[in-house]
Amino acid sequence: MRRSLIGTAVLALCAGNAMAIEPFVIKDIRVEGIQRTEAGTVFSYLPVRVGETFNDDKSISAIKALYATGFFKDVRLEADGQVLVVLVEERPAISKVEFTGTKEFEKDVLVKALKDIGVGEAKIFDKASVDRAEQELKRQYLSRGLYGVKLVTTVTPLERNRVNITFAVDEGEIAKIKQINIIGNKVFSDKELREQLALNTGGWFSWYTKADQYSKTKLTGDIESLKSFYLNRGYIEMNIDSTQVSITPDKKDIYITINITEGEKYNVADIKFEGETFGREDELRSLVLLRKGSVYSGELLTATNKLISDRLGTFGYAFANVNANPDINQEKREVSFTFMIDPGKRAYVRHMNIAGNTTSRDEVIRREFRQFESSWYDANKIKLSRDRVDRLGYFKDVTIDTPEAQGTSDQVDVNLTVVEKPTGNFTIGGAFSQSEKFTFQAAIQQANFAGSGTTVGMELNTSKYSRTISFSQFDPYYTDDGISRSYEVYLRTQRPPALNIGSYTIKQKGGRISYGVPFSETDTVFLGIGLERSSIETDSTSPTRFQQYVTDVTGNPSGIGKAETNAVPLTLAWSRDSRDSGLTPSIGRYQRLNLELDVIGKQKYYRAIYEHQYYKPMIWKTVLALKGELDYGRGLGDTPYPVFKNFYGGGIGSVRGYESSSLGAVDSRYGDALGGAARVIGNAELQLPFPGSGKDRSLRWFGFLDAGQVYQEGEKLRYSQLRYSAGLGISWISPVGPLKLSYAKPLNAKPTDRLERFQFQMGSGF
């Protein structure tokens, strides 16, 4: 005969031992009522075992333990003789979670998010968890400005103790910011202050930025932006008194009111130092960006603190603490600062850790480090290490942090984290013009091949007019000392692209090898040698320039025939790269000087190329990018400059708005662009982050001004002959490869110039 223990158990839970259970020794335990849960699972949670004496305390513990699992909605204990019977009623299992009416969010995203909080397929149904899920869904919609959202949750019982959960959503309309009021401003206009806010009442890009949708996080950021705006202009006592956010009864319009007190404008009176300066006060003082008598700027003060901390970091003081204490004189409206310097203990690096490199080998990254383990901490070397890794171009993002090593007071770990990006690139370039319609070219290259840091490239073009087969390889660490090696072998054939401009054939085959020797962290000198055989074949319809070249080489006055030359070009080059990134630079310079000389072969010549890039960050996260290139070639002795070594201009990479390779002199018979022995190119870009992209530098739009021209051998480089263009463009390092679009307006085009206003270049990553 069974004895029910549930009554005494519940009573014991509520009122102690008011009714005692008659103790007995458990001979066996039996579980009844389970459908999905294994009996072993129940036994594992039970705090009692066979052979133990069952009493009030163990009855209470057993019920508490089984309820705590969340598996059961009812638990009863009975005694069948000396057998403890555990009777349970399981909670239903969730068979499926469904959504209806959702447009703002992807359903898969919602399913995953709810599963993380306990509501998902195969999870145990719990009403409290469903309520939390419902509130979380509403919160997500409110964060998107959908304040009129309505949510109905339906739980449908199914056979075998299962349920379906359906969230029926009526999203309503997105609430838009109708008005932003700023109260209390006297010095600056409402328009000036609203320009500092990320939130606004809508504009051309609102569909993308969603800046007209209220967000508490954005409003918090805007308040900080307002404070910074005033602090950077001397208003050290500026205060945000309050903010109010209200919504209309129909939940469609939002009104924001920000109440401020501007205070008075302050100038800097004096700068002092206290603490340990190691006798370098003059050096540290030179880092102070604030000047006596100048208007106070919070931005300059913060930058000064960082500069002093970084300088102390170069001496090994990784934990240096620099605080500027203000002394405000309200009568004179002046503020003095005392920089309190606490360098802390000198630190050294314990470990250099690398994370995120799923493809690149550790050694490819580690060999770029200039900070070493077990040496004194040096902030400059750590920054240089980060920049060198970023300049490799293998990663979308490179971050570095220096946490204090646990259990120590004078050691740090340097943790460098990278985000890999596809380093293979299949590139096509093209443009559209009325004369040529659509044109394109293609090449394939794999940087960081198999994670080794080696770049392998192959160009294969089977065009009827320009056939190319080439293979190249670049190993940046051919030796452990950082000497690089590159080589290329190629076979190129070129014919005219149309039948009405004459006939000719240019063939080039050969190879080259070059070694790069680093002389500093940013400077490398390259030495190389090549072997090349070139031939030009002409007939009576060939352009005059090619016929003249055949005459110069063979002595044949008709200029018809075949001219072959061998060349052994020697190369001497130098490069300096101080950019912060090889992919999306925002600061620094890049310079390259290359001299190619052939005094051995039949066709003696030299050609020099100088390129200079300069990047400077400007206001509002913009970057000024200036690029210039000057190229010059000439034949040596009585030999002319080889026509197949000509420079060309026009198109993306030189002067946008003009057809690719169309600038300079043209053939007198057919009007073909001939290229030239000299070239001048200049580009100025103002690069801006795309609205809503935040700190992501992979997507930018830019305005540009281009200038350039190509000159014949012996022709003076007259700047009056330069061609100019201006326009807008978009640059995107997309997940499938780089993409660049531009629309240019030629500013001084001549009637004979060939124009292409829209041009693009794109690649496919792999």
Mean pLDDT check: name the lowest of 11-20, 133-142, 394-403, 718-727. 11-20
- What confidence score (pLDDT) does residue 1 get? 52
- Say if residue 566 is in the same domain as residue 705: yes
When pLDDT is cut at 50, 70 and 90, the band that residue 237 belongs to is very high
In the predicted model, what is the mean pLDDT of residues 714-730? Answer: 90
Q: Give the pair of three-digit tokens for residue 283.
A: 């050096």
Q: Which of 261, 287, 317 is the last residue of a domain?
A: 261
- Say if residue 451 is in the same domain as residue 360: no
- Say if residue 652 is in the same domain as residue 519: yes
- What confidence score (pLDDT) does residue 465 get? 63
Give the separation between CA 333 and CA 531, rounded to whole angstroms: 74
When pLDDT is cut at 50, 70 and 90, the band that residue 172 belongs to is confident
Q: Which of 342, 369, 385 is the last residue of a domain?
A: 342
- Say if residue 534 is in the same domain as residue 635: yes
Burial degree of 293 (CB within 10 A; 0-12, 13-18, 19+) = exposed
pTM over 0.85: no
- Say if residue 107 is in the same domain as residue 237: no
**Integer-rounded Cα radius of gyration of the chain:** 37
- What confidence score (pLDDT) does residue 414 get? 93
Mean pLDDT check: name the lowest of 21-35, 203-217, 262-276, 707-721. 203-217
346 contacts 379 by C-beta, under 8 angstroms: no
In the predicted model, what is the mean pLDDT of residues 215-223? Answer: 87
- What confidence score (pLDDT) does residue 227 get? 94
Residues of the chain with pLDDT > 70, as a percent, come to 90
- What confidence score (pLDDT) does residue 14 get? 45
- What confidence score (pLDDT) does residue 432 get? 46
277 contacts 284 by C-beta, under 8 angstroms: yes
- Say if residue 160 is in the same domain as residue 186: no
- Say if residue 405 is in the same domain as residue 436: no
When pLDDT is cut at 50, 70 and 90, the band that residue 243 belongs to is very high
pLDDT digits 0-9 by tens, 665-679: 887 777 777 889 999
Number of domains into which the chain is organized? 6
pLDDT digits 0-9 by tens, 462-517: 655 667 889 999 999 999 888 999 999 999 888 765 544 567 888 999 999 999 99
574 contacts 524 by C-beta, under 8 angstroms: yes
Is 308 a residue whose pLDDT tops 50? Answer: yes
- Say if residue 334 is in the same domain as residue 374: no
- What confidence score (pLDDT) does residue 668 get? 72
- Say if residue 372 is in the same domain as residue 485: no
Q: Which of 233, 261, 289 is the last residue of a domain?
A: 261
456 contacts 473 by C-beta, under 8 angstroms: yes
In the predicted model, what is the mean pLDDT of residues 142-163? Answer: 84
733 contacts 705 by C-beta, under 8 angstroms: no
435 contacts 754 by C-beta, under 8 angstroms: yes
Q: Give the pair of three-digit tokens for residue 484.
A: 């690089």
Is 766 a residue whose pLDDT tops 90? Answer: no
Is 19 a residue whose pLDDT tops 70? Answer: no
Residues of the chain with pLDDT > 90, as a percent, come to 38
pLDDT digits 0-9 by tens, 333-345: 999 999 999 998 8
* 3-state SS, one letter per residue, for 551-605: HHHHCCCCCCEEEEEEECCEEEEEEEECCCCCCCCCCEEEEEEEEEEECCCCCCE
Is 721 a residue whose pLDDT tops 80? Answer: yes
Q: What is the mean pLDDT of the chain?
A: 85
Nearest to 254 by CA among 245, 265, 244: 245
Domain of 475, CATH number, reads: 2.40.160.50
Is 218 a residue whose pLDDT tops 90? Answer: no
Nearest to 232 by CA among 289, 272, 190: 289
Domain holding 588, by residue range, is: 424-765
Give the separation between CA 442 and CA 466, rounded to whole angstroms: 11
Nearest to 642 by CA among 687, 609, 675: 675
Give the separation between CA 351 and CA 370, rounded to whole angstroms: 13
- What confidence score (pLDDT) does residue 461 get? 67
In the predicted model, what is the mean pLDDT of residues 526-550? Answer: 88
- Say if residue 132 is in the same domain as residue 247: no
Give the separation between CA 676 and CA 721, rounded to whole angstroms: 14
Is 11 a residue whose pLDDT tops 70? Answer: no
- Say if residue 377 is in the same domain as residue 355: yes
pLDDT digits 0-9 by tens, 98-120: 888 888 888 887 888 888 777 88
- Say if residue 610 is in the same domain as residue 548: yes
pLDDT digits 0-9 by tens, 388-435: 998 888 888 899 999 988 888 889 999 999 998 877 766 555 444 444
DSSP code of residue 303: H
Domain of 59, CATH number, reads: 3.10.20.310
pLDDT digits 0-9 by tens, 48-96: 888 888 888 888 888 888 888 878 878 888 888 888 888 888 888 888 8
| Residues whose CB falls within 8 Å of the CB of residue 624, separated by 6 or more in sequence, listed in order | 614, 615, 616, 617, 618, 684, 685, 686, 687
